[in-house]
Amino acid sequence: MKSVSVFGATGSIGCTAAKILKHQSDKFNVEVITGGSNVLQLAKTAIELDAKHVVIADESLLNELQKHLENHKITISAGRNALLEAASRPVDISLQGIVGFAGVECSLIAARSTKTLALANKESLVCAGPLLRSICTEHKTTLVPVDSEHSAIFQCLQGEDLRTVERIILTASGGPFLNTPMHELSDVTAEQAAAHPRWKMGLRISIDSASMFNKAMELIETKELFDISSDKLEVIVQPQSIIHSMVGFNDGAIMAHMGPADMTGAIGYALNYPNRETLPLERLDFSKLGRLDFVSVDPNKFPAIQIAEHVIELSGLAGAVFNAAKEQALDLFLSGHLGFLEMSLVVERAINEYAKNSHNRTVTLDDLIDIDNSTRRFIQKNVKGNCHV
Site of interaction with Mg ion (CB under 5 A): 147-149
Kindly state whether residue 36 participates in binding ligand NDP, applying the rule CB under 6 A. Answer: yes
Q: What order do you get walking across the sheet with 142-145 strand by strand?
A: 75-78, 53-56, 28-35, 2-7, 91-96, 114-119, 142-145
- How many Å apart are CA 154 and CA 145, to the nearest integer? 7
168, 186 in Cβ contact below 8 A?
Answer: no
Which residue's Cβ has the minimum distance to Mg ion? 147
Rg (CA), the chain: 20
Kindly state whether residue 12 participates in binding ligand NDP, applying the rule CB under 6 A. Answer: yes
Q: How far is the CB of 184 from ligand NDP (least distance, A)?
A: 26
Contacts of 215 (CB under 8 A, 6+ apart): 170, 172, 209, 235, 297, 302, 304, 305, 308
Nearest to 260 by CA among 120, 148, 144: 148
User: Using CB distances below 5 to 8 A depending on partner kind, what does residue 175 bind out of ligand NDP, Mg ion, none?
Assistant: none
Of 3, 4, 8, 215, which one interacts with ligand NDP (CB under 6 A)?
8
Instruction: Specify burial of residue 235 (Cβ count, 10 A radius: 0-12, 13-18, 19+).
Output: buried
- Which residues in 57-207 belong to E strands, given as ranges? 75-78, 91-96, 114-119, 142-145, 165-172
Kindly state whether residue 265 participates in binding ligand NDP, applying the rule CB under 6 A. Answer: no
CA angle (143, 57, 28) in 5-degree steps: 45
Interface segment toward ligand NDP; rule CB under 6 A; list 3-11, 108-116, 134-142, 295-303:
3-11
Q: How far is the CB of 64 from Mg ion (least distance, A)?
A: 33
Which residues partner with 312 through β-bridges?
A: none
Size of site (CB under 6 A) for ligand NDP: 28
Of 28, 31, 35, 375, which one interacts with ligand NDP (CB under 6 A)?
35
166, 248 in Cβ contact below 8 A?
Answer: yes
Within positions 200 to 219, which residues make up the interface with ligand NDP, using CB under 6 A? Answer: 201-202, 204-205
Nearer to Mg ion, 193 or 332 (CB): 193
Nearer to Mg ion, 147 or 327 (CB): 147
User: Using CB distances below 5 to 8 A depending on partner kind, what does residue 338 bind out of ligand NDP, Mg ion, none?
Assistant: none
Kindly state whether residue 120 participates in binding ligand NDP, applying the rule CB under 6 A. Answer: yes
Nearest to 149 by CA among 219, 79, 48: 219
Kindly state whether residue 14 participates in binding ligand NDP, applying the rule CB under 6 A. Answer: yes
User: Using CB distances below 5 to 8 A depending on partner kind, what does residue 98 bind out of ligand NDP, Mg ion, none?
Assistant: ligand NDP
Kindly state whether residue 129 participates in binding ligand NDP, applying the rule CB under 6 A. Answer: no
Q: How far is the CB of 128 from ligand NDP (least distance, A)?
A: 13
User: Using CB distances below 5 to 8 A depending on partner kind, what does residue 201 bind out of ligand NDP, Mg ion, none?
Assistant: ligand NDP
Nearer to ligand NDP, 59 or 160 (CB): 59
Q: How far is the CB of 160 from ligand NDP (least distance, A)?
A: 23
Which residue's Cβ has the minimum distance to ligand NDP? 11
Q: How far is CA 333 from CA 91, 99, 197, 208, 286, in A?
A: 38, 17, 20, 11, 39
Cα 208 from chain centroid (whole Å): 11
- How many Å apart are CA 364 and CA 109, to the nearest integer? 13
- Which residues in 13-135 belong to E strands, given as ranges? 28-35, 53-56, 75-78, 91-96, 114-119
Kindly state whether residue 10 participates in binding ligand NDP, applying the rule CB under 6 A. Answer: yes
Of 93, 114, 144, 147, which one interacts with ligand NDP (CB under 6 A)?
147
- How many Å apart are CA 300 and CA 364, to the nearest integer? 35
User: Using CB distances below 5 to 8 A depending on partner kind, what does residue 99 bind out of ligand NDP, Mg ion, none?
Assistant: ligand NDP
Kindly state whether residue 248 participates in binding ligand NDP, applying the rule CB under 6 A. Answer: no
Q: How far is the CB of 53 from ligand NDP (least distance, A)?
A: 15
- How many Å apart are CA 240 and CA 20, to the nearest integer? 24
Nearer to ligand NDP, 207 or 387 (CB): 207
- How many Å apart are CA 308 and CA 280, to the nearest integer? 35
Q: How far is the CB of 62 from Mg ion (least distance, A)?
A: 33
Which stretches of the chain bind ligand NDP, using CB under 6 A? 8-14, 35-38, 57, 83, 97-99, 102, 120-123, 147, 199, 201-202, 204-205, 263
